[in-house]
Structures are given as C-alpha cells and as structure tokens.
Amino acid sequence: MILAWLILWLLAGGLLAWFSARWGNAWPRWISLITLLVQLAALTGLWIGFFSHGNLAVAAPGQWLAELNLPWIPAWGARFHLALDGVGLLMILLTSFLGIVAVAASWQGIQHRVGFFHFNLLWILAAIDGVFLAVDLFLFYFFWELMLVPLYFLIGIWGHQNRVYAALKFFIFTQASSLVMLVAILGLYFAHANSSGVYTFDYLGLLGTPMSSFTEMALMLGFFIAFAVKLPVLPLHTWLPDAHTEAPTAGSVALAGLVLKVGAFGMLRFLLPLFPRAASDFSTLAMSLAVAGIIYGALLAFSQTDLKRMVAYTSISHMGFVLLGIFAWNQLALQGAIVIMIAHGVSTGALFVIVGDLQDRIHTRDLDRMGGLWSVMPRLSGAGLLFALASLGLPGLGNFVGEFLVLLGVYQVSIPLAVLASLGFIVSTVYALWLVQRVFLGRNKHHRQLPDYNLRESAIMAVMIVVITALGLYPQPVLSTARGALKKLGSYAPGHHQPEASGAVAHKDPQAGATKPGSGS
Amino acid sequence: MSGQDFISLLPLTVLAATVVLIMLAVSVYRSHILVLLITLAGLTAAAAMLPLAAGSGPRRVTSLLVVDGYALFYTGVILAATFVVAVFSFVYLRKQQGQQEELYLLLLLAALGAAVMAASSHFASLFLGLELLSSSLFILIAYPRGRLNIEAGVKYLILASVSTSVLLFGMAFIYDQTGTMQFSRMAALADANAGVLFTTGLGLLAVGLGFKLALVPFHMWTADVYQGAPAPVTAFVATVSKVGVFALALRFFSQVGIRPQAHLFLMFALIAIASMLAGNLLALTQDNVKRILAYSSIAHLGYLLVAFLASGPLAITAVTFYLSAYTATTLGAFGVVGMTPCRGREADAVEDYRGLFWRRPWLAAIFAAMLFSLAGIPLTAGFIGKFYLLDAGVGSSLWLLVFSLVAGSGISLYYYLRLVVVMYMRPRGASSGEATASCPWAGSLMLTALLAVIFWLGVYPAPLIDMIQKTAALK
C-alpha cells in the first residue's frame, strides 16, 4: 500500500498547492517542499529499512521489495499493479531529491501562477514515480502518458521566448512515439493471449511469451522507439535541445534528471526482459547509435553559443553511455548505467540550476556575453566548475564511476565500440573546460557586479555537491541496492549464466574473452 | 402487440408524449423555462423507463423494432446527451430575441428519431427514424435565422436529401435481391445469393450512412453546418445524430456481416483511412474552433470505423464505449464554445480564446480537459476509448488501419494543443469587456458534470465497460 501512497501523496500535494495559491504565493512553495521532503524522508527510511534487514537481494522473478496488486479494468485484464525493486527504489529516491531541488530552485524565479506551476511539477513527479513502479503494462502506459500534459504546461507557460514551439515539439515527439509503443503493447497482449488464452497486461505474466522472431523484433522496436525518444537516442533527439533550453529551470531539471531516465528505465524494466532475443540481436545497432550519440552530443555541445543549449547537448552524450550500458547487457555495464542515470540526474540538474541562476542575474544565456564571473560570484562559479568537471567524468565524482563501469562492461562485448565511446571523454573534457573558461574565467568584459549565491542557492548546491561526491567516492550502497534487480535482469539474457559483477561475464565477442575487467584503467 | 410490447416501447412512447405535451403547452402559455422543465422532465422520465423496458428482456416489437439491451443502452446515451443539449440551449438562447420554445420540441423529435434508429431492425423503421432525425435537424440548424444559419440549414437539407435517396436506392437493390426488409432475415439470405446487385445495394447503403456520419469523401457539408448552426445544435449534430446512425450501422452490418463481402470491407477500410487522415489534416488549417471540431469529428468517426471493421464482441464494446466517451467529450467542448462570452456573438474564432485561462480559469480548464480527452490523453475518457479501439484493431490484425489511427492521433495533437496554447497565452492588448458576462450556473453545473464523467471514465472505466458487456452485446 505504501507504493500507492507514494503517488497519491504527490497528487494530493499538487492539488493542495494549486488551491493554496489563493492565500498567497508562499503557500504553494512551502506545501510542495514539505510534500517532497516528507516523501524523501519516508523513502530514505524505507531504504535504510531494506538495508538493515538485508532483504535487498530479491532477485527471482516475481519477488519484489514491496508490491500492491488491485483489480482495475477486469474486462481487459488490466490491474493496478505496482511493485518496487532496487532500481525502482533508486529512481524514486532520485525523483524526490530532484523534485526538492526543482522546487527550491524556482523559489524566486517563478512569480506568475505559482499554484498551477507547483501543481504541474508535483504531478510530473507523481507520474514519473508511477512509471518507476508500474508492472502492469497498461498502468505503465497510463503513467507514461500522464507525465506529458503537466510537462507540456510547465514548458509552455513558464518557459522562455520560444516556449510554445518547444513545448509542442516535445509533446508531439513523445506522444506519437508512445502511440507506437501502445500498439506494440497491444501486439504483445494478443500474442500472449493467442499462445496461452489469458488476456493480461501483467509484466510477469507476459515474460517469456513465445513469439516468432519477426513478431518479437517488431514489438521490441515499437517499445524501443518510445524509449529512444525519451532517452534520447541519436536520430530521435531533436526535441531535446529545444525543450531543455526553453523550459524553466524546474522543467529542465525534471526533463534532464527524470524524464530521460524514464526512457532508460523502460528499457531495463520492459524492453530487455520482454524481448530478450530481439534485444540481443538489436544490441550492436543500438550500441552503435549510442556511441554515435555520445560523440555527436559532445561535439554539438562544444559548438553551442547558448549556455543552456550546451548543457542540453551534454545530456545526449551522457545518455548515450546509458544506452550503451543497457545494451551491453552484462552486470558491469548495467551497474554503470544505473550509476550514470543517478549521477547525470544530479550533475546535469545542478548545471541547469546554475544556468538558471545565471540567467536570472545577467538575463542572457549567450556565452559571448559572459566571462570573468568568478571574481564577482565565487560561490556560483565554484559550483559551476565542480559540476562541469563531474560532467567531463573526473574521478572522484559520480559520473566517472558510471561511465567507467559502462566502458568496462562494453569492452567485454565489443572492443571497437568501447574505444570509440571513450573518445567521448576527450570531447567532453573539451566542452566542459571550454564552458568553464568562457563563463567563469577570463576578463569580466561587461564589468558586471552581481550578487553571489544567497543562503538558499548555496544550500541547494551544497546538497548536490555532497551527493555527487558521495556517489563518486562510495557508490557501493547504490550498487548493492540495484544488484538484486540487475541480477534478475541478467538472468533474462539469452544464454544467461552470469555470476556476480566482477567475475567472468558472458562474452559475445570471443576476442574479448581474455580480457579481465579492471585492467583498462 | 401484447402488454409486454408496450412496456418495451415505454422509453420511446414517453419521449413522443413529451413532444405532444410541449406542443400543447406552447399553444396555451409561452414560457421558455417551463418548456425547458417539461423537456428535462420528459427526458428523465423516458430514461427512468429504460430499466423497466430492459426488465422485459430483449423483445422484437412488431417486425419493425427490436428492444434489446443494445438499443436501450444507446437510447440511454441519446437521452442523456439530449438532456445536456437542452440545458446548453437554454443557457445559449435565454438572452436572445424571438420564440425559443419550439427548439426543444425539435430536439426531442430528433432524439426520438435517433432512438428509433438504435432500435430498428427493418428498413422501414430505419427510414422513419432517419427522416425524423434529419428533418428536425435541418430546422434546428437554421434556428435563430441568421444568414449563416440559413445557409447551413439549406446545405444540410440538400445533402441529407441526396444521401437519403442514395440510401433508398441501396435498400431497393437489397430488397430486390433478398425479398425482405428485415435485417435478420437478410443475413440468412445474404450468404446464399451475395450477388453483385446485393453488394451494390450494401455499398449504396454505406454511402448513404457515410453522408450522415460525415465520413470522407462524404464530409463536405460538415464544417459549414457545424460552423453555421448555433453551438448547442452543433453539439447535438455531432453527438446524438452520429450515435443514432452509428448504432444502426453497427447493428445492420454486424448482422449482415462485412467480413465475407471483400469489396465492402475494402471500401470501408479506405473510407476509414481517408477519414482519419483527411479529417485531421484539414483540421490543421482551420482558424475557427467549430470548424476544427467539425474536422476532428470526421477523424473520430474514422477511428470508430477501425473497431467497426474489427467486428466481433470486442469491437461492439469498443465502439459503444468510444461513442459514449466521445459524446460526453464533444458535448463538453461545444458547451464551452456556446458559453464563452464574446461581445454578442459566438466565440468561434481561435483568437477569441486567447488568454481564456486567465480570464475564466474554470471554463478554460474544462475546455482543455475536453480537448485532451479528444486527443486521448490519460485520466480522460478519450484515452480509454482510444485504447479500446486500438485493442480491437490489433486484436483483428488490422495493421494498416491501426497505424493510420496512430498517425491520425499524432497529427491531431497539433490542433488540439494549439487551442490549449491559445488559451494560456496572455491576452493581447486591453481585452475590452469580454470578461464581464458571468457563466450561468446551470451551464457551469452541466459542464462540471461532464468533466466528472470524463475523469470517471478515464480513471475507473470498469463499471461502464461491465455494463456495456452485459447489456449492449449484440447477439
């Protein structure tokens, strides 16, 4: 039941925030903040509880950390079925955390229709939590679509100059692609019904549905398109720079931090287990797209003159690593993907907050009109430097751990792809340092005199710095939490005989057989 | 006719009696509110007779009508929709000059026609119902006697007559081949001698019904009529008349069977694809809200054909659910159009809705919800409905139709969202006095009720689905 409360709590908080706006603009902010803080506290309590009882290791299909299963639309066999596993737990923790950041970051920036703004924000978070928890495909699709409308409003109402175009583009891209997924869901539903006579959307029921390889590939591609748009994967990414750039800070944080993760999570939860053979046939192509995305995103980030757009393009690059890790499909790579998902959420979220703060102060995002800000805003610039370094993958910060694990995992599958992907590190170093150079260092040409971070802004940054550093120095709690779920995921791989993370991993590439993980550093 | 037969016919009889009562009432004492109350009472009474009629089981009443769960369910939808339209009409007309009372009489007559169609099992009753519906509609469309209304009315009259004659022609062919006008007997004979003339007859029948349903390529009248008619009447045309005709088409073609008739199936498939794509593409270019909704309704009828062609029990529940959801949503959308204040005329230009969110938040929120429901976004009835249609389509492996539906929905997002976007833009310049008119409570109440229905069906559709499966399954 706790799972339904997680979602209902946010939905109720959102409604309350909306209606409380009539008492004053401070009310929605405080209500949202308290709603999210309570949720984060409850989740953290839950997490610690799982740790202390040592029952995070549920790895068999059908075993969950927590579960709720209620009838919903019996005529279709759709059930209100929520379930929590380790990866899901990490993702909803991230959701609550970034939700708090988003509320805190828009404390002063949003002065217009404050109630409706927070309503939309909380409903986005509720729908995202729903996606992380749903194990009924119909329910999953329901939440998947539900997040679009509030996000659309968030971008379309509180965004920057070109917001209407960006919001529309975002909405049409995601909605059209998810309709394709809907058809694939129904195809799977009927394929299952034809073979077993049981009409169900239940995830566990649909696992291992016998299908012809053509059907499996077609359905897998249906899911892949929807997830690939959200992730985004290279040819389907064009909505992202527009949406991220035009969105208000909270919207960018939610988009980069959470919405992109939803695509990756969908692949982990649904795409690989439901269509293992097709996914493994498709893996080379998917990984090539991922590598192309890593390099393309980084190159385009480097060539931007709009600071926010630059950060948006780095997302494409980072999410390429996630896609690479997912389709490499061994324990190392999967663990890496999970760590990147969290680290990217925090580091890119922080960069968007910094960009937003900068824009509030100097009213431009144009890199040419910045420079030398370190001398006037040392606290903001320091945070900026740190997260730029996190973004380039500096050891000691979270992103490094993830990207390193992914490369290790990929190396065992395909050496050329691993080599190409590591080129991404070089390009990302260039763009990250370029960013620091142009914004914070150099000469303050415009002689700007600007207020540095106040207490609220410093607190946001301090918390995010703590998280990204902790993730970089001691990622073990994250890895242990995800291990059960990832082991389960590994067991779906065709020809699965995969032991623990650091051991011998099933090799698809015989040439990589002699390589020991860990020797690449 | 036995006593049981009369009980089965009670919903229709009560409706007809209300028409007479209004006629008498108007001749004695003209009062807008009184006529409205009689109308609403009559509709409620007719609806109250539905369980009674259902209690006597599915019955064939004479050879013309069959009163089964299917007919009664659709009658229920028609009655409910007419109730809403009556309230909207009151709100819409109360400030206008002239005599408004006859409008309700015509509304009830048209509803009676639609209900007869839902229950008809014979060409004669089909024709009777259709004519009752069409001839009332044509006066309704021209009701407040503006230039645009007259144009729309005449347009509707001419095209309705043309389509009726095509329909009659088709019936003649079928009668010639089978020697019967009863659907059930036709089905038995259809297998034996499905000759060219029989197929031609079915084709002509389909064309005639296609005109009424405004499917592409028989859709030319739609946008003009929707635009010209007063908003509540447009709501009526878009819902009740479509529901009646579609109920009939579904019953007829599921009894006669489309699947065996390959040519007919192909024709319907092409009509469906053309409606989905053309309806949505044409809606993109419009600047008039009523025209946008007109083209979108063409597309929605195209979506419905996907499930219609899927056939089987799943298809019938899918169509019935979708029609119910579509009816509630469309009523809500046109209700908002009729109630948006705009300097003494109907607010039908997209520009009239600029900044509605900030002027009239509740009205705008309802409109947005209706548009999202039409677009098929979760939490709304339209989502479940669209899912149901896809369910039926994929279940019968109609891939081309399914992908046209997906493509059509993708395109439709653009114009639905465009309306939503306009509503939350800041008003341009000083908006002079648009905000003054207050929304009458009856209208607000009705819209709120529709909103509740939309959300209820979108979140917990199980009861309605259950009810449809129990009652509306065609044997």
Chain B residues inside the 8 Å CB shell of A164: 421, 425
Residue B407, domain member (yes or no): yes
pLDDT per position as a tens digit, A158-167: 888 888 888 8
- Residue among A73, A146, A157 minimizing CB distance to B461: A73
Domain borders along chain A are 2-514
Contact B378 A175 (CB under 8 A): no
Residue A198's pLDDT band, with cuts at 50, 70 and 90, is confident
pLDDT at A55: 66
Identify the band that residue A501 occupies on the pLDDT scale cut at 50, 70 and 90.
very low
Q: How far is CA B224 from CA B140, B295, B341, B350, B415, in A?
A: 14, 10, 22, 16, 19
Residue B143: HSE in the Cβ half-sphere, 13 Å Cα cutoff:
26
Residue B462 to residue A74, Cβ atoms within 8 A? yes
Kindly state whether residue B147 falls inside one of the protein's structural domains.
no
**Interface predicted TM-score (ipTM) of this complex, two decimals:** 0.85
Task: Provide, as residue numbers in chain B, all residues whose Cβ is less than 8 Å from the Cβ of A75.
Answer: 317, 462, 465-466, 469
Q: Is residue B464 part of a domain?
A: yes
Residue range A38-52: mean pLDDT, rounded: 88
**Close Cβ partners of B33 (under 8 Å, ≥ 6 residues apart):** B90
Residue B431 has pLDDT above 70, yes or no: no
- The alpha-helical segments, DSSP class H, found in A363-397 are 378-392
Nearest CA in chain B to A146: B378
To the nearest whole angstrom, how far is the Cα of A260 from the nearest Cα of chain B? Answer: 20
DSSP labels, B50-76: HHHHHHT-SEEETTTEEE-HHHHHHHH
At A508, the pLDDT band (50, 70, 90 cuts) reads very low
Mean pLDDT across A42-55: 83
Q: Does A176 touch chain B (CB under 8 A)?
A: yes
**Which of A51-65, B52-66, B117-131, B308-322 reaches the highest mean pLDDT?**
B117-131
Q: Has residue B126 got a pLDDT over 60?
A: yes
- Asked, as a colleague might, if the bond just before A74 is cis with ω within 30 of 0, I would say no
Domains of chain B: total: 1
- pLDDT tens digit string along A118-148? 999 999 999 999 999 999 999 999 999 888 8
Residue B434 CA to residue B427 CA, distance in Å, equals 11
Indicate whether B93 belongs to any domain: no
Half-sphere exposure of A117 (CA within 13 A, CB side): 30
Q: How far apart, in whole angstroms, are the C-alpha atoms of residue B19 and residue A359?
A: 67
Query: B36: pLDDT confidence band, cut at 50, 70 and 90?
Result: very high
pLDDT digits 0-9 by tens, B358-407: 888 888 889 999 999 999 888 899 999 999 999 899 888 888 999 999 99
**What mean pLDDT do residues B75-83 have?**
95
- Contact B413/A175, CB-based, under 8 Å? yes
3-state secondary structure of B118: helix
| All residues at 6 or more sequence positions from B332 whose CB lies less than 8 Å from its CB, including other chains | B366, B367, B369, B370, B373, B447, B450, B451, B454
What pLDDT does B238 receive?
A: 93
Out of B390, B413, B424, the one facing A182 most closely (by C-beta) is B390
Domain assignment of residue B335, given as a range = 273-475
With contacts defined as CB-CB under 8 Å, which chain B residues touch A171? 413, 417
Note whether A8 contacts B: Cβ–Cβ < 8 A.
no
Burial category of B439 from C-beta neighbours within 10 Å (exposed 0-12, middle 13-18, buried 19 and up): middle
Dist CA A287 CA A289 (whole Å) = 5
Asked whether residue B316 is domain-assigned, the answer is yes
Listed in sequence order, the DSSP H helices in A54-136 are: 86-105, 114-133
Q: Check A186 against B394: CB less than 8 A apart.
A: yes
For A201, nearest residue in chain B (alpha carbons): B391
Closest Cα in chain B to A175: B410
Amino acid letter, A430 = V
Q: What is the SS3 assignment for B230?
A: coil
Dump pLDDT digits (tens) for A284-316: 899 999 999 999 988 888 888 888 898 889 989
Of B379, B402, B465, the CB nearest to A73: B465
Question: Hey, of B414, B420, B468, which one would you mutate to test binding to chain A, going by the most A CBs within 10 A of its CB?
Answer: B420
Whether residues A72 and B460 touch (CB distance < 8 A) is answered with yes
- Give residues 386 to 445 of B whose Cβ lies within 8 Å of A: 387, 390-391, 394-395, 402-403, 406, 409-410, 413-414, 417-418, 421, 424-425
Q: Please give the Cα distance from B105 to B17 (Å, whole number).
A: 11
Q: Residue A76: list chain B partners with CB under 8 A.
A: 391, 465
Query: A157 — contact with chain B (CB < 8 Å)?
Result: yes
Q: Do B406 and A172 touch (CB under 8 A)?
A: no
- pLDDT tens digits along B236-275: 999 999 999 999 999 888 888 776 677 888 999 999 999 9
Alpha carbon of B342 to those of B245, B441, B443: distances in Å? 34, 18, 16
Cβ atoms of residues B245 and B117 within 8 Å: yes
CA distance B72 to chain A (A): 21
Distance separating alpha carbons of residues A138 and A64, to the nearest angstrom: 19
pLDDT at B343: 63
Q: How many CB atoms lie within 10 A of CB A24?
A: 12
State how far the Cα of A460 lies from the Cα of A455, in Å rounded to an integer: 9
- Cβ-based contacts of A71 with chain B (< 8 Å): 462
Which of B402, B460, B465 has its CB closest to that of A75? B465
Name the residue facing A146 among B378, B391, B460 (closest C-beta): B378
Count of CA atoms in the C-beta half-sphere (13 A) of A354: 30
A290's CB contacts (< 8 A; 6+ apart) are A233, A320, A321, A323, A324, A327, A421
Reply yes or no: is the peptide bond before residue B217 cis, omega within 30 of 0: yes
Tell me how far apart the alpha carbons of residues B291 and B375 are, in angstroms, rounded to a whole number: 16
Residue B463 scores a pLDDT above 80: yes
Residue A370 to residue A412: CA distance in whole angstroms: 44
pLDDT digits (tens, 9 = 90+) for B194-241: 678 888 888 899 999 999 899 988 888 899 999 888 889 999 999 999
Q: Is residue B176 a part of any domain in this protein?
A: no
Helix, strand, coil percentages (3-state) for chain A, rounded to 5, are 75, 5, 20
Closest residue by Cα to residue A191 from B317, B400, B394, B401: B394
Answer yes or no: is B124 within a domain: no
Within a domain: residue B340?
yes
For residues B152 and B141, the answer to whether their CB atoms sit within 8 Å is yes
A218 band by pLDDT with thresholds 50, 70 and 90: very high
Q: Work out the percent of chain A whose per-residue pLDDT is above 90.
A: 31
